[in-house]
């Protein structure tokens, strides 16, 4: 049964909302009543605008599909209060994690001092603990001078000059070059700070142009690693893809990543289009895990949509002031979290049928609404076939958190540097990020890889890539 709002009913409803009596309203001139109605309508419209804008200000990665990197650094995240009576530190029975004992370069045996009773001899003595002290030895640079001779051939009189060996022509050795590459790429240190470090710690005066030349040399040396990572990433059956803004010469670009269980590939592209996506993946046809961006939704080789993004949107909806929106958001949040938890505890047949029935009922109840609740339900309806692929396919995660984690370091780099200034800088970022994240995934030392890459480059041979496989 539908309710028709007549002018009389509208007047009654308005009267109930105003701070004066029905009698006072009845004696109010019609022109004044019309004016009050117009003003009330305007107030309602402005209140809706305020609610919308306030919702945007309060939107974070916890309450929307926005990535964590977009959150303001000045907003503190609310933490759950500690349970009363809880103690800090590891719980009882937890093995704990202390400092790892490294292989010693020196060992000192410490015997106990004399006993307070006056006797100095021990019946037995055995080790009970190891106290480790780690110290940096005095830094002394190895400086090699190559004294080049020249002379004249005794046979023909032709002048001859010695040449610097090919693997020593750079002027800075592979370990020093690797250190500068480690600082500039793996730790996003500026060229100026690298210059200060070399002068203060290593006692080596170095011009900014020299620092840049060494970084360019490192970028060239790790190119084979980047190409091997790209080949490996484009052959894996499951890939996690995401993108984030990047600036090159103050122009908006996009940094893309294709992350797998073992490697992560990065690519800088001028736009966020389908062409950029295919420039990243090339001929790859694996199962895609991504957020709901339109470019990904047309993937035909199997796709798992990120449940974390949907959960954030549902959480934001559950915190709305409107009770109907909040109720829908809480319902959706509960069902999506239940689905996500199925990755750790696969449901039985009965549990799945019960959840599926509730989920379909949720969509049917709200999908025709024109508000945020309806938009979320229609999105869930569109993404239906991509919501639970992780339950059917082995090795597929229900979220795209792997790709988002792969972009965190890049986002911090972007905030500190404001992007890059050239295409050469773009290639350095792509190669460095790919090598750094892949080394982290495989438990490999980036510095060791850089030393080998530069040594191989100076000697004109291929670097060792066996650690990638």
Co-location of 440 and 292 in the same domain: yes
Domain membership flag for residue 209: no
Give the total number of structural domains in the chain: 2
Domain membership flag for residue 88: no
Q: Tokens in use for 449?
A: 């890889």
Co-location of 373 and 299 in the same domain: no
Q: Which of 206, 258, 203, 215 is nearest to 235 (CA)?
A: 258
Co-location of 297 and 419 in the same domain: yes
Say what the pLDDT of residue 325 is: 92
Co-location of 278 and 411 in the same domain: yes
Per-residue pLDDT tens digits for 444-458: 999 999 999 999 999
Say what the pLDDT of residue 117 is: 84
Give the range of the structural domain holding residue 298, as residue numbers without chain letter. Answer: 221-303+400-468
Domain membership flag for residue 164: no
Domain membership flag for residue 4: no
Co-location of 312 and 388 in the same domain: yes
Q: What are phi and psi of 128, to 5 degrees?
A: -125, -15
Residues present in the chain in total: 469
Instruction: Examine the fold and report which residue of 362, 392, 422 is the final residue of a domain before the chain moves on.
Output: 392
Give yes or no for a contact between 284 and 231, defined as CB atoms under 8 angstroms apart: no
Say what the pLDDT of residue 83 is: 56
Say what the pLDDT of residue 66 is: 59
Domain membership flag for residue 71: no
Say what the pLDDT of residue 50 is: 78
Co-location of 271 and 384 in the same domain: no
Cα distance between residue 203 and residue 138, in whole Å: 12
Domain membership flag for residue 51: no
* Residues near 410 by beta carbon (within 8 Å), at least 6 away in sequence: 244, 246, 255, 257, 266, 429, 433
Give yes or no for a contact between 264 and 431, defined as CB atoms under 8 angstroms apart: no
289 CB burial (10 A radius; 0-12, 13-18, 19+)? buried
Domain membership flag for residue 432: yes
Structural element, H or E, at residue 264: strand 264-269
The stretches in the chain having pLDDT less than 70 are 1-20, 55-56, 58-98, 120
Per-residue pLDDT tens digits for 236-265: 999 999 999 999 998 999 999 999 999 999
Supply the angle between the helices 446-459 and 208-221 in degrees, to the nearest 10: 90
Co-location of 251 and 318 in the same domain: no
Instruction: Examine the fold and report which residue of 328, 358, 392 is the final residue of a domain before the chain moves on.
Output: 392
Structural element, H or E, at residue 240: strand 238-248
Co-location of 282 and 421 in the same domain: yes
Domain membership flag for residue 277: yes
Instruction: Examine the fold and report which residue of 367, 392, 417 is the final residue of a domain before the chain moves on.
Output: 392
Co-location of 281 and 326 in the same domain: no
Say what the pLDDT of residue 1 is: 42
Say what the pLDDT of residue 20 is: 64
Co-location of 226 and 283 in the same domain: yes
Co-location of 317 and 424 in the same domain: no
Co-location of 409 and 463 in the same domain: yes
pTM tops 0.95:
no
Per-residue pLDDT tens digits for 307-336: 999 999 999 999 998 899 999 999 999 999
Say what the pLDDT of residue 3 is: 44
Say what the pLDDT of residue 18 is: 60
């Amino acid at each position: 049964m539908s309710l028709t709002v007549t002018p009389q009913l509208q007047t009654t409803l308005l009267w109930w909302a105003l701070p004066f009596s029905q009698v006072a309203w009845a004696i109010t001139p019609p022109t004044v009543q019309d004016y009050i109605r117009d003003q009330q309508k305007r107030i309602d419209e402005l209140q809706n605008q305020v609610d919308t804008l306030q919702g945007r200000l309060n939107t974070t990665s916890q309450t929307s599909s926005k990535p964590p990197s977009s959150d303001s650094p000045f907003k503190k995240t609310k933490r759950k209060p500690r349970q009363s009576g809880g103690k800090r530190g590891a719980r009882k029975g937890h093995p704990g994690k202390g400092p790892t004992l490294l292989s010693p370069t020196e060992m000192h045996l410490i015997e106990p001092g004399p006993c307070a009773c006056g006797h100095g001899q021990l019946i037995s003595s055995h080790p009970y603990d190891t106290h480790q002290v780690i110290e940096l030895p005095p830094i002394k640079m190895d400086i090699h001078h190559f004294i080049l001779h020249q002379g004249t051939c005794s046979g023909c009189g032709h002048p001859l000059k010695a040449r610097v060996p090919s693997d020593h022509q750079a002027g800075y050795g592979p370990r020093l070059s690797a250190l500068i590459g480690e600082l500039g790429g793996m730790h996003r240190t500026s060229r100026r700070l690298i210059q200060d470090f070399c002068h203060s710690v290593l006692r080596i005066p170095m011009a900014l142009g020299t620092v840049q030349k060494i970084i360019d040399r490192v970028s060239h040396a790790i190119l084979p690693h980047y190409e091997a990572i790209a080949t490996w990433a484009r052959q894996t059956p499951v890939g996690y893809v995401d993108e984030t803004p990047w600036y090159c010469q103050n122009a908006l670009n996009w940094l893309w990543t294709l992350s797998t269980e073992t490697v992560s590939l990065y690519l800088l592209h001028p736009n966020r289009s389908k062409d950029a996506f295919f420039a990243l993946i090339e001929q790859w046809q694996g199962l895609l895990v991504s957020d709901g961006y339109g470019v990904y939704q047309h993937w035909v080789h199997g796709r798992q949509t990120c449940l974390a993004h949907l959960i954030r949107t549902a959480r934001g909806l559950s915190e709305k002031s409107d009770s109907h929106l909040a109720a829908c958001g809480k319902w959706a949040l509960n069902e999506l979290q239940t689905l996500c938890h199925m990755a750790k505890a696969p449901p039985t047949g009965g549990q799945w049928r019960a959840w599926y029935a509730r989920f379909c009922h949720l969509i049917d109840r709200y999908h025709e609404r024109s508000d945020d609740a309806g938009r979320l339900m229609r999105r869930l309806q569109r993404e239906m076939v991509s919501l639970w692929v992780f339950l059917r396919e082995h090795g597929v995660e229900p979220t795209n958190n792997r790709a988002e984690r792969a972009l965190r370091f890049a986002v911090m780099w972007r905030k500190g540097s404001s992007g890059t200034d050239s295409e050469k800088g773009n290639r350095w970022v792509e190669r460095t990020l790919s090598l750094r994240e892949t080394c982290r995934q495989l438990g490999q030392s980036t510095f060791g890889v850089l030393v080998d890459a530069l040594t191989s480059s100076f000697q004109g041979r291929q670097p060792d890539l066996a650690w990638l496989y």
